[in-house]
């Protein structure tokens, strides 16, 4: 069945989410479980109520970008200095461990080497969004294990993106010269992104934020524009939306309006 227009559809969806959410609350489930259940029930596999996929897709992407933006906003240089090594070691360690053993198990099950490589890498994925949302709901993002988990997840995301980019290039052309080019291109992108962020954080952002902050509302719109914009840029540059939004938040974490932006975005 369809609805008169998107507005009515969204209203009906929100009503269903509220009902399922309160049932979940009575059963002592975290809200995110109810939200996923509501998504399954409303989606094409059960009721098929959702016809306006484009606006909902947009809202979902903006929500994810803003969540990662807020996570980035909470990281300051002090945390990176203390957590950076731990996050790098655990994140890369888990990716290497899981993908190598996944690769070997898939090989042992009789898969082709390239297929086994894909399965191995696929096994290393964790859902950053689900974990970050759960930690944020329990107000445990600032705890020691919360910080380690988020750092770990971000490192993992970046590693998986790099692995995916390498693999898709590998399956396309297999001679060694191409592989070299892929590595150079990847390194160039990472360096370009880092250089851009450095220039922004050092010279552009402080004055920009100072101008915006004369109006609290404009500051909020600027923050959303910055988060969504860097997410779009991140995807365009071959990283992920999530990594871009995270970087956008991180770049504002050292300004003195961090708390003001954070309070308005998380409510």
> Binding segment for a second copy among 57-65, 70-78, 107-115, 187-195 (CB under 8 A)?
57-65
Q: Determine which residue in the list 61, 166, 254, 255 makes contact with a second copy, applying CB under 8 A.
A: 61
Residue tagged 């989410």 (tokens): 17
Binding mask 169-208 for a second copy (x = CB under 8 A): ----------------------------------------
- Return the structure tokens found at 33: 């479980």
- The residue (of 141 and 232) whose beta carbon lies closer to a second copy is 232
Tell whether the torsion through CA atoms of 201, 263, 149 and 78 is positive or negative. positive
From CA 64, how far away is CA 250, in angstroms rounded? 15
From CA 64, how far away is CA 30, in angstroms rounded? 18
Q: Which of residues 134-153 bind a second copy (CB under 8 A)?
A: 137
- The residue (of 6 and 187) whose beta carbon lies closer to a second copy is 6
Q: Among candidates 262, 237, 38, which has minimal Cα distance to 229?
A: 237
* Number of residues forming the site for a second copy (CB under 8 A): 46
Angle, alpha carbons 265-256-226 (nearest 5°): 50
**Helices within the chain (DSSP H only):** 6-26, 31-42, 53-74, 77-108, 113-124, 128-137, 144-172, 176-199, 205-212, 216-236, 241-252, 258-266
**Least Cβ distance, residue 66 to a second copy (angstroms):** 12
Helix (H) or strand (E) holding 211: helix 205-212
- 3-state secondary structure labels for all residues of 79-92: HHHHHHHHHHHHHH
Q: Determine which residue in the list 39, 40, 54, 258 makes contact with a second copy, applying CB under 8 A.
A: 54
Interaction between residue 31 and a second copy (CB under 8 A): yes
**Least Cβ distance, residue 267 to a second copy (angstroms):** 4
- The residue (of 12 and 119) whose beta carbon lies closer to a second copy is 12
Interaction between residue 221 and a second copy (CB under 8 A): yes
Q: Among candidates 11, 152, 30, which has minimal Cα distance to 94?
A: 152
Interaction between residue 58 and a second copy (CB under 8 A): yes
- The residue (of 92 and 213) whose beta carbon lies closer to a second copy is 213
From CA 22, how far away is CA 30, in angstroms rounded? 10
**Least Cβ distance, residue 199 to a second copy (angstroms):** 18
Interaction between residue 263 and a second copy (CB under 8 A): yes
- Return the structure tokens found at 83: 């957590």
Interaction between residue 53 and a second copy (CB under 8 A): no
- With contact defined as beta carbons under 8 Å apart, do 149 and 86 qualify? no
Binding site for a second copy (CB under 8 A): 4, 6-8, 10-12, 14-15, 17-18, 21-22, 25, 31, 52, 54-55, 57-59, 61-62, 137, 211-212, 214-215, 217-218, 220-222, 224-225, 228-229, 231-232, 235-236, 241, 263-265, 267
């Amino acid at each position: 069945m369809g609805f008169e227009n998107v507005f009515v559809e969204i209203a009906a969806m929100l009503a269903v989410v509220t009902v399922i959410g309160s049932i979940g609350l009575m059963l002592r489930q975290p809200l995110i479980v109810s939200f996923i259940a509501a998504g399954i029930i409303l989606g094409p596999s059960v009721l098929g109520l959702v016809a306006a996929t484009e606006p909902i897709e947009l809202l979902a992407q903006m929500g994810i970008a803003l969540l990662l933006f807020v996570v980035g906003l909470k990281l300051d240089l002090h945390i990176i200095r203390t957590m950076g090594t731990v996050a790098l070691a655990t994140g890369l360690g888990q990716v290497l461990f899981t993908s190598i053993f996944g690769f070997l198990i898939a090989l042992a099950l009789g898969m082709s080497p390239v297929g086994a490589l894909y399965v191995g890498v696929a096994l290393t994925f964790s859902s950053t969004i689900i974990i970050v949302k759960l930690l944020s709901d329990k107000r445990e993002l600032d705890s020691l294990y919360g910080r380690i988990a988020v750092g770990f997840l971000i490192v993992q995301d970046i590693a998986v993106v790099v692995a995916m980019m390498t693999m898709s290039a590998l399956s396309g052309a297999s001679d060694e010269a191409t592989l070299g080019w892929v590595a150079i291109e990847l390194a160039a992108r990472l360096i370009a992104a880092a250089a851009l962020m450095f220039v922004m954080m050092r010279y552009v952002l402080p004055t920009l934020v100072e101008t915006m902050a004369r109006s609290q509302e404009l500051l909020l719109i600027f923050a959303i524009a910055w988060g969504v914009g860097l997410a779009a840029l991140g995807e365009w540059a071959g990283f992920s939306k999530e990594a871009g939004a995270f970087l956008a938040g991180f770049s504002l974490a050292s300004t003195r309006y961090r708390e003001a932006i954070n309070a308005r975005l998380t409510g």
